[in-house]
Every structure is written in C-alpha cells, then in structure tokens.
Amino acid sequence: MMAKNNIPEVSYGILIQNQSDSVIDEVVEQIRMLGYGVIDSGYSSSELNNLSEVFNHTRAEYIKNQGEEKLRAANEYNTIRAPLTHGDEAFLRLALNKNLLPVIKKLIMGKFILNQQNGVINPPGETYNQAAWHRDIPYQHFVSSMPIAINALFCVDDFTCENGSTFLLPASHKAEAFPSAHFIKNNAVQIEAKAGSFIILDCMVFHSGGFNSTGSERRAVNHLYNIPFFKQQINIPKIMPDVSLTAEEKEILGFTFQEFNSVSEYLSR
C-alpha cells in the first residue's frame, strides 16, 4: 500500500457529494462504501469484565444443556446460539447497545429486527466454523443499492492479527460473485480492534475468521439485524424470558413482526 501523503483536497466536475458531520456519519459512510467500519460500544472496563465473565458462564451452561458431543457433531462447539434468550441480561443489553443502534438505524432504512445473536469462539491453534469466507446471508449472490442486513461483531477480547481477527474483502457487498483467489490474496484486509468495539459489516461483505496462533481463545458476540421481511434464525420472541422491554425494544427483537396465523388475525391488526 502506498503512503497517503498530500491527498488532494480540491475537485472539479462534481455535482453531488456525501456529507459527514459526525462520527456516526463517518462510520456509516465507510460501511456503505467499503462494507465495514468499527465503533466503540461505550462500555466501562468493569462492564467489559462482566461481559467476559458472563460469556464464559453462559457458554459452560450451554454446553452442559446442549451436550458437548451433539455440539461437536454439528460443528457448533465454538458457537453459543441466542445467548440473549438464556444467558445473562447483559446479552440483551448488548443487542440493544446505545452506540450501535443509531448506526444500524442510519444504515437500514425503515424498520429492522434482530435476526440472530451468537457467541463466537475462535479457539487457539485449531480451526472453527467461522474460519471460512462467507456472507452473513449465505448462499445469496444478489447485490442491493441499500443495506438489507448489517452485522455487528462485538469484541469480547482484543482482536489482533495473532489471535485470528476477522478478514474481509472491502466493497465485496457490491458484487454478486465471490472474488477470485488472486483478488482475495491482494485485497483481503484483517481488522484489528480493541475489546469493547463493534466491527460492523454490511452482511453481504465476504468475511472470515482467521487462524488463532496465540494460546488464548478470541471471543466475540455476533449480531445480525435485517429488514423485517427475513425470518429470524431462532424465534426470539417465542423463547425470550420474561424481562421488561420498551415498545421499541420489543419491535427490534421481532415481537411485532411475527407471522399472522390466519387471515382474520391479519385483518384484525
């Protein structure tokens, strides 16, 4: 990569230019253009320590309840599905993070819902189910002029090149096909981020976890938010414990976007 000295500040022949007047606008513009950006969640160090502890506790309970053998057989041993529905309330608050939601609101026009929340563990010295190029809406090869889904990968630990932080292909959300091996070799970037950051991706950007060559796990919590026309991976409203939620929080969790069970139910709403 060339040094970026003396970037020109003047232009000509331009009739339209994006404006970015705030930190949110800056990250939103980068996600629209390149497909990725990083923001701080705003948590204090004691809140981050608590998230780290509840992550481990929730994982241990999850393995106990689902069974290690079953999880390994399904290649799910390094994933915790829907922790906001069975773990500490901190997972629910993470999905509704006050620094994150304004960014999602700017990126997805109109209503959106949480499609899924997954704890992700990149284990030391071995591969795992996210260490392969994919889109977060897999098997799809269309592009859209506006984001239809955004993912927000919360870094429980520092993400470093050594512990296999996320690789991505900038702007690949704008092209239908998965790029060639040559393009990947020349254009893949690896994102380093501090614990407490959200790495935000247009869900159609190709990305992959890297190889963790340290001695410690690299833990994250991934969130996928999408327009309400896509069904959730797991029906969150159906299995959510009884917690008090505002009307907006209920909407984001999908309570108001459940399928109708009959024509008369549809008409009565």
Binding site for ligand AKG (CB under 6 A): 120, 122, 130, 136, 153, 166, 207, 209, 220, 222
CB of 209 to ligand AKG, least distance (A): 3
CB of 258 to ligand AKG, least distance (A): 25
Task: With H, G, I as helix, E, B as strand and everything else as coil, classify residue 13.
Answer: coil
How far apart CA 118 and CA 220 sit, in angstroms, is 8
Please say whether the beta carbons of 199 and 152 come within 8 A. yes
Structure tokens at 151: 């993912």
CB of 121 to ligand AKG, least distance (A): 8
Decide whether 56 or 256 has the Cβ nearer to ligand AKG: 56
CB of 217 to ligand AKG, least distance (A): 11
CB of 218 to ligand AKG, least distance (A): 7
CB of 57 to ligand AKG, least distance (A): 20
Please say whether the beta carbons of 163 and 212 come within 8 A. yes
Please say whether the beta carbons of 224 and 115 come within 8 A. yes
Decide whether 136 or 202 has the Cβ nearer to ligand AKG: 136
Decide whether 133 or 255 has the Cβ nearer to ligand AKG: 133
CB of 187 to ligand AKG, least distance (A): 18
Query: Whole-angstrom distance between the N-terminal and C-terminal Cα of the chain?
Result: 56
Tell me which amino acid residue 58 is. Answer: T
- Residues whose CB falls within 8 Å of the CB of residue 262, separated by 6 or more in sequence, listed in order: none
Structure tokens at 234: 């797991």
How far apart CA 154 and CA 145 sit, in angstroms, is 26
How far apart CA 255 and CA 249 sit, in angstroms, is 9
- Residues whose CB falls within 8 Å of the CB of residue 25, separated by 6 or more in sequence, listed in order: 19, 106
How far apart CA 76 and CA 209 sit, in angstroms, is 15
Give me the numbers of helices (H) and strands (E) for the chain, helices first please: 9, 9
Decide whether 179 or 251 has the Cβ nearer to ligand AKG: 179
